[in-house]
């Protein structure tokens, strides 16, 4: 295995998770709690960015596969993420009244950020043999969770007011420091990662137009590979629940459990620590006992944990449940990523992972609609609407579990 590449690959995951967790935790609260924007509008931002990903992801991934320039695509994509999040951070600091502009930048930033995984995930195949991909995928995911912990610790003094940067005080202070850390820590991979030697071909604008016409043909070939289409469908369904609950969790902590920012930070750090453990543990178990089998175990755990969280009466009970939830968080993405890398042949990796990313992001399309509908229409007393929304996510996981059982894959 290529140890230097694995380190740089994991460091990149560590870096991008810093900016992700800060915007995940604080942008939702800055927009909904501080600025008075509706929960429905916040969830709609993910729908908009997902729509952009659906329209562009499959075609760009085909170009990356055919040109052999996957790593070049990742570098260009990463620089664009830097630019968008720096501009968004400055808007929040100096023009907080420009909420529409901030939301538009968030949509674009989230879209480009998620697009990067179309080119990042396929690099797994070149770094590890098939029998070690669960373990290496787990290392990457563990780095992601550890990066999120670092992000929370980094910005807490800014959020609490202990350190004042400049511009708008309060939660607005956290975004620029997180983005600058992302820039500095992702730079080593862009400079020093040793890409695989593959034949590179020139991509022209005419070729891009041709690929748009050819995308359905290429997708049909991809979906004909045994297990791929069913996997992506199952992943979309169960990830719908996990990602929707994750995106709304800070608001749940605020509205249902009335947790202050310091308590939220502690609880999210607890999730992240146990997620790092879960990533490596489940990745190892996936290599040892079979990736599909272990993924089904993880999904069964989610069927139990969602209702228990919804029924929690106080923050103490929730803290205990979060410990177990973190292990499931870490495991589900480490194992599913490794499993898909085993299902798809090398020449189709970017295209296949574009649908993996779309399936993951499309969970920010249907899930938020269900969640927002329940939050708006259900009774609000004692946070009942949020509790019902959390329970509703169990239905998605159950459907995803039975679909995953149908995936044709020999462990």
Cβ neighbours for 54, distance < 8 A, ≥ 6 positions apart: 358, 362
In this structure, are residues 396 and 237 in contact, taking their beta carbons and an 8 Å threshold?
yes
Would you state the structure tokens that stand for residue 388, as one six-digit string? 């019902």
pLDDT at 366: 75
Inform me whether the pLDDT recorded for 113 exceeds 60: yes
User: Which has more pLDDT, 408 or 306?
Assistant: 306
The two tokens of residue 142 are: 């563990």
Give the residue, 49 or 180, on which the prediction is more confident. Answer: 180
35 or 18, which is more confident? 18
Whether residue 411 is predicted with pLDDT greater than 60 in this model: the reply is no
Per-residue pLDDT at 196: 66
Three-state DSSP at 146 gives helix
Provide the pLDDT for residue 181.
95
Say if CB 127 and CB 6 are below 8 A apart.
Answer: yes
Cα three-residue angle 364-369-372, rounded to 5 degrees = 110
Domains of the chain, residue spans: 3-191+206-405
Per-residue pLDDT tens over the stretch 351-400: 677 777 766 665 556 777 888 889 888 988 888 999 999 999 999 999 99
> Could you tell me which residue, 317 or 218, shows the higher pLDDT?
317
Q: Would you place residue 410 in the very low, low, confident or very high pLDDT band (cuts 50, 70, 90)?
A: low
Average pLDDT over residues 105-131: 82
CATH superfamily of 3-191+206-405: MFS general substrate transporter like domains (1.20.1250.20)
Q: Please tell me the distance from the alpha carbon of residue 352 to that of residue 357, in angstroms, as a whole number.
A: 9
Of 15-19, 55-59, 164-168, 215-219, give the lowest mean pLDDT range: 215-219
Which of 207, 196, 186 lies closest to 69 in space, CA to CA? Answer: 196
Provide, rounded to the nearest whole percent, the portion of the chain with pLDDT above 90: 25
Cα–Cα distance measured from residue 24 to residue 269, given in angstroms and rounded to the nearest whole number: 13
Residue 209 buriedness (CB in 10 A; 0-12 / 13-18 / 19+): exposed
Q: Are 400 and 366 in contact (CB under 8 A)?
A: no
The one-character DSSP state at 97 is T
Q: Say what the pLDDT of residue 26 is.
A: 87
Sign of CA dihedral 116, 217, 51, 248: negative
Q: Which of 395, 396, 298 is nearest to 338 (CA)?
A: 298
Q: Which of 61-75, 235-249, 335-349, 372-386 has the lowest mean pLDDT?
A: 61-75
Determine phi and psi for 97, rounding to 5 degrees.
-75, -15
| Predicted local distance difference test score (pLDDT) of residue 213 | 65
Closest alpha carbon to 306 in 225, 252, 372, 361:
252
| Torsional class of 314: left (φ above 0), alpha (ψ -120 to 50), beta (otherwise) | beta
Q: What is the pLDDT of residue 198?
A: 54
What is the distance between the alpha carbons of residues 79 and 191, in angstroms, rounded to a whole number? 12
Tokens describing residue 74: 């990742």
Contact 356, 53 (CB under 8 A): no
Average pLDDT, the chain: 83
Work out the average pLDDT over 298-313.
93
pLDDT in tens, 171-212: 888 899 999 999 999 999 999 888 766 555 555 544 556 666
Evaluate if residue 169 carries a pLDDT over 80: no
* pLDDT tens by residue, 252-300: 888 888 888 778 778 877 887 888 888 889 988 998 899 999 999 999 9
User: Model pTM greater than 0.75?
Assistant: no
**Per-residue pLDDT, 37:** 79
In this prediction, residue 206 carries a pLDDT of: 46
Higher pLDDT, 137 or 195: 137
């Amino acid at each position: 295995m290529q140890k230097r590449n694995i380190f740089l690959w994991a460091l990149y995951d560590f870096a991008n998770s810093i900016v992700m967790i800060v915007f995940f935790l604080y942008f939702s609260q800055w927009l909904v709690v501080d600025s008075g924007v509706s929960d429905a509008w916040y969830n709609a931002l993910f729908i908009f960015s997902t729509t952009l990903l659906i329209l562009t992801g499959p075609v760009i991934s085909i170009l990356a596969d055919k040109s052999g320039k996957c790593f070049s695509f990742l570098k260009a994509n990463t620089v664009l993420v830097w630019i968008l999040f720096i501009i968004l951070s400055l808007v929040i600091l100096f023009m907080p009244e420009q909420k529409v502009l901030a939301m538009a930048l968030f949509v674009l930033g989230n879209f480009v950020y998620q697009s990067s995984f179309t080119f990042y995930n396929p690099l797994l195949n070149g770094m590890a043999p098939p029998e070690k991909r669960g373990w290496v995928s787990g290392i990457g995911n563990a780095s992601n969770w550890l990066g999120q912990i670092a992000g929370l610790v980094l910005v807490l003094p800014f959020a609490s007011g202990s350190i004042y940067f400049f511009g708008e005080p309060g939660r607005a202070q956290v975004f620029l420091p997180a983005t600058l850390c992302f820039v500095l820590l992702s730079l080593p991979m862009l400079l020093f990662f040793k890409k695989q030697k593959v034949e590179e071909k020139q991509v022209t604008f005419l070729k891009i137009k041709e690929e748009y016409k050819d995308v359905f043909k290429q997708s049909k070939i991809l979906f004909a590979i045994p297990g791929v289409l069913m996997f992506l469908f199952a992943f979309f369904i169960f990830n719908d629940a996990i990602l929707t609950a994750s995106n709304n969790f800070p608001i749940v902590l605020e509205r249902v459990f009335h947790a202050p920012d310091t308590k939220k930070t502690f609880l999210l750090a607890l999730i992240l620590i146990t997620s790092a453990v879960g990533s490596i543990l489940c990745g190892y178990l996936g290599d040892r006992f079979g990736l599909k089998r272990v993924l089904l175990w993880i999904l069964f755990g989610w069927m139990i944990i969602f209702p228990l969280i919804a029924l929690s009466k106080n923050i103490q009970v929730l803290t205990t449940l979060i410990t177990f939830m973190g292990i499931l968080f870490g495991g589900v993405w480490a194992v599913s990523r490794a499993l898909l890398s085993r299902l798809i042949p090398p020449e189709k990796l970017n295209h296949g992972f574009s649908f993996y990313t779309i399936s993951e992001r499309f969970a920010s399309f249907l899930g938020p609609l269900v969640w927002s509908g329940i939050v708006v229409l259900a009774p609000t007393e004692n946070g009942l609407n949020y509790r019902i929304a959390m329970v509703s996510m169990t239905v998605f996981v159950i459907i995803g579990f039975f679909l995953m059982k149908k995936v044709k894959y020999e462990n």
